[in-house]
Amino acid sequence: MMYDQTRRKPEKFLGVITAGSLAKGVEARIRTLTPLEKIQTGQFIAVECEGVRFFGLLTDVTLGATSDSVLLDPPYPDDTGSSLLREVLHGVYTYGNAHIQPSLSLQNGEDQPRPVRSVPSHFAPVFIAEEADFEQVFGQENIAENGHKFAVGQPLDMDIDVCLDLERFVERSNGIFGKSGTGKSVLTRLILSGLIRSNTCSNLVFDMHNEYGSVTKGEYSGQQIKGLRDLFGSRVMVYAVRDRRPGDKNREQRATVADGDIVIGMNHIDVEDILLLRNELQLNATAAESAYILQNKFGDRWMETLLNMDGEALKEFCETNGANSNSITALKRKLGAIERMPFVEKNLRSLRVIDDMVAALAAGRHVIVQFGGQDDLLSYMLVANIITRSIHKKYKELTERYKRTQQAQDEPRRVMITIEEAHKFLTPEVAGQTIFGTIAREMRKYYVTLLVVDQRPSSIDSEVLSQIGTRIVALINDERDIDAVFTGVSGSAGLKTVLASLDSRQQALLLGHASPMPVVIRTRPFDEIFYRAITHGQSSLPAFVRPTNGNGHADTEGDDNRESFEEWMKKQDEAQIEKDKADLFG
C-alpha cells in the first residue's frame, strides 16, 4: 500500500525522528505546538519513511532544552513577560522528546508488517496511529467466521479492536501476569472464551477458585458473570474435586453439578507428585531418597504400604533396605495429610475419570477442573500434577504414533493447560522436576502448552519464563516481578515504564508471539454484549460420550441433573419456528 501523506490527519502529527538506534529505540522531537501534557506513554505510533512505514510504541517522553542558560534563568510565573517568554520558548529552546520503540515495518507493496530490522531515517515524520494502522497490524476479529483473530480489547484512546492471533497463541506456552485484583481472571476467561469459540485447541483449566466453569459474581461490579459452561454448553465439561464420602451432605450439595468427580488412588501418586509438594508438606531433603527406595521396593503401592506399616515393619524395612528410619517415619507422618484428602482412595484399578478427561480433550472438548470445597493449595497441586502427568504420557504416545504414521487424522489435537498460582509449580527448585516444567520447556513439540496465570512471576524459573510466547500483563509494581515478566524480551527497558503506568484495572500490556507488537489495551468487558458476540453463529454439539473400548466406561454421570445447553438451544429454535409459523399463517 502506497503511503499518502495527505491521508494522515494533521492533528495526529507528533514530530520528527532525530536520533536513536534499533536496539535502544528512536527519539522523536515533538512538534512545537503539541502540548506535552497530551502525549501519553503506551500510545501506538506510526513513522512514515520513503517506501517503509514503521510501527512502534511510545515508551517515554523526556524534557529537553537547547541551552543550559534557559534552565539556569527560567521564566518564573511572576516575572514580567514570563507568559510570552514561556510561550515562545516552548518548542524551540525547551521541547519534548518522544522515545519510540519500533517493532514492525511495512514495506511498500506488502500486506503484512514484519519485525523491524532497520531504523527510520532522520526527520521522518511521526504520527499517532489511526484506526487503519491498528487494522493493518492487528487485523479484524473474524472468530465468528471460523477465523483465529480474537479481539481482546481496545487501545487506550480509540474505539477499535486489538486482535490476538489465537493460532499463534497456542503454538507456545503463554502467561497472564498481574497483581492481585488487576483482572487476571477476567483476562483468562476472555482468552479461554476466544480459544473455545475459535476451536484452535482443547483447553484444560485447573480452576482453583471456581471462577471459570459456572456463573460467578463479579468482584467489583457485583454483577453475575457467566461461566464458560454457560456460554459454550457441552463443549465445556466440568469435573469436580470434592468430598464424596457419605455423611457429608453439606459439602456435596454445595459443590456444583459436574460431568464427573475426580478420585485418585494412592497407587497413582508418584514420588514426583510428592516432591512437588515439598514446601507444602515441609519435607526435608532426604524424603526424596526414602520415597524412591519405597517405590523401588513396592512399586505403585508404595504409599499405601508405607501408611500401613507399623513401628516394627518400619524398622525391619529400614534395616533390610538401608533406609533412614527417621526419614521414613517423618515421610509417613507427613503423607498422612494426603491420606486424609477426601478424593484420595487407597487403591483404584484405573484412573477412569482422568482417562475420560484426556479422551474428551483429544476429541476437541474443553475440560474445567473445579476445586470447589477443596481449594487448598495441597489438593490443587496434587491433582493438577497427576492429571497433567497423564496427559503428558498420553500425548507423548499420540505424537509418536503420528510421527510414525504421518496420517493427518492421527495428528493430536492441541491442548492448552491453564494453571493458576503457577509459580508454585514452576519455582526454580521444582521446575526442573515437575511435569509443568517439562511442558513449559519442550511439550510444544508434543502438542501441549501452558497458560500460566500468576501474580508473582519472579518466583517462576527463568528458563521457563524465557520460553513463554505471549505475555498479557496487567499492572505489576514489584521491581523483581517486572524484570521477570520481561525475561527474554528484547528492548524491554521502554516497556517497563509503560507497564508501570498502567491503570490498576481493565488495562493490560500485550506482547509476544501472538501479538504482532507490544500494545496497551483496555480489556474487552465480559458482559452481555460479549456473550452475544462470542456465541453468535455457534453450532451446538451433543454431550460427549467416550467411545467404549476395552474397559468400556462411558461416563455421563451428573449430566442428568441439568438441561444441557443444546437442549435449551433446540427448544429456543423450536419456539422461534412456532412463532414464525404463527406470524405467517395467522
Partner 1 sequence: MTESFLSTRNLFPTETPAKPAELNPTEPTVGEVVETSLTGFMAHTYKLDEPPPFGGLVRVRDRAGNNEIFGAVYHIATGGLDPGRRAATRGGGLPAKSDEQVYIDNPQLSRLLKTEFGVLVLGCSKVTSSGRRSFSYVFPDYPPPLHYSVTLCSDATLVAFTEDKSYLRAILEAPQVPAEELIAAILRRATRAREAAGRMFLVESLRYLARTLKQDYDRFKIIVEKCEGAQV
Positions 213 through 272 that interact with partner 1 (CB under 8 A)? none
Of 47, 193, 64, the closest CA to residue 123 belongs to 47
* Residue placing its CB nearer to partner 1 in the complex, 5 or 80: 80
Helices (H), 517-564: 528-535
* Residue placing its CB nearer to partner 1 in the complex, 66 or 504: 66
**Which distant-in-sequence residues (6+ apart) come within 8 Å of 405 by Cβ?**
none
Are 533 and 143 in contact by the 8 Å Cβ rule? The answer is no
* Residue placing its CB nearer to partner 1 in the complex, 66 or 556: 66
Going through 264-326 in order, the beta strands assigned E by DSSP cover: 264-265
* Residue placing its CB nearer to partner 1 in the complex, 75 or 194: 75
* Residue placing its CB nearer to partner 1 in the complex, 82 or 154: 82
Q: Which of 88, 363, 554, 577 binds partner 1 (CB under 8 A)?
A: 88
Compute how many other C-beta atoms are within 10 angstroms of the C-beta atom of residue 423. 19
Report, in Å, the least distance between residue 4 CB and partner 1.
Answer: 23
Please tell me whether residue 110 binds partner 1 under the rule CB under 8 A.
no
* SS3 label, residue 46: strand
Report, in Å, the least distance between residue 86 CB and partner 1.
Answer: 10
Are 276 and 425 in contact by the 8 Å Cβ rule? The answer is yes
Q: Which stretch binds partner 1 (CB under 8 A): 65-73, 138-146, 429-437, 463-471?
A: 65-73
Positions 418 through 457 that interact with partner 1 (CB under 8 A)? none
Please state at what angle helix 377-405 crosses helix 325-339, rounded to 10 degrees: 90
Please tell me whether residue 87 binds partner 1 under the rule CB under 8 A.
yes
d(CA 518, CA 103) in angstroms, rounded, equals 8
* Residue placing its CB nearer to partner 1 in the complex, 88 or 554: 88
Positions 374 through 393 that interact with partner 1 (CB under 8 A)? none
Are 351 and 308 in contact by the 8 Å Cβ rule? The answer is no
d(CA 487, CA 471) in angstroms, rounded, equals 11
> Which three cell numbers, joined as nine digits, stand for 37?
501534557
* SS3 label, residue 212: coil
Are 484 and 460 in contact by the 8 Å Cβ rule? The answer is yes
* Residue placing its CB nearer to partner 1 in the complex, 92 or 575: 92
> Which three cell numbers, joined as nine digits, stand for 374?
477443596
Q: How many residues bind partner 1 (CB under 8 A)?
A: 16
Q: Which stretch binds partner 1 (CB under 8 A): 4-12, 81-89, 160-168, 491-499?
A: 81-89
Of 418, 411, 496, 413, the closest CA to residue 450 belongs to 418
* SS3 label, residue 561: helix
Report, in Å, the least distance between residue 63 CB and partner 1.
Answer: 16
Q: Which residue has the cell 457419605?
A: 246
Report, in Å, the least distance between residue 89 CB and partner 1.
Answer: 7
Q: Which stretch binds partner 1 (CB under 8 A): 6-14, 82-90, 344-352, 394-402?
A: 82-90
Q: Which of 16, 22, 39, 85 binds partner 1 (CB under 8 A)?
A: 85
> What's phi and psi for 15, nearest 5 deg?
170, -160
Q: Which stretch binds partner 1 (CB under 8 A): 80-88, 445-453, 511-519, 546-554?
A: 80-88
d(CA 138, CA 272) in angstroms, rounded, equals 42
Residues in the chain: 586
* Residue placing its CB nearer to partner 1 in the complex, 83 or 140: 83
Please tell me whether residue 67 binds partner 1 under the rule CB under 8 A.
yes
Report, in Å, the least distance between residue 515 CB and partner 1.
Answer: 41
Planar angle of CA 145, 148, 150, nearest 5 degrees: 95
Please tell me whether residue 19 binds partner 1 under the rule CB under 8 A.
no
Start-to-end CA distance of the chain, whole Å, equals: 56
Task: Tell me the per-residue interface mask from 25 to 64 with partner 1, x by CB under 8 A, - otherwise.
Answer: -------x--------------------------------
Q: Which stretch binds partner 1 (CB under 8 A): 90-98, 208-216, 317-325, 531-539?
A: 90-98
Q: Which of 19, 62, 69, 115 binds partner 1 (CB under 8 A)?
A: 69
Residues that bind partner 1 (CB under 8 A): 32, 66-67, 69-70, 73, 80-81, 84-85, 87-89, 91-93
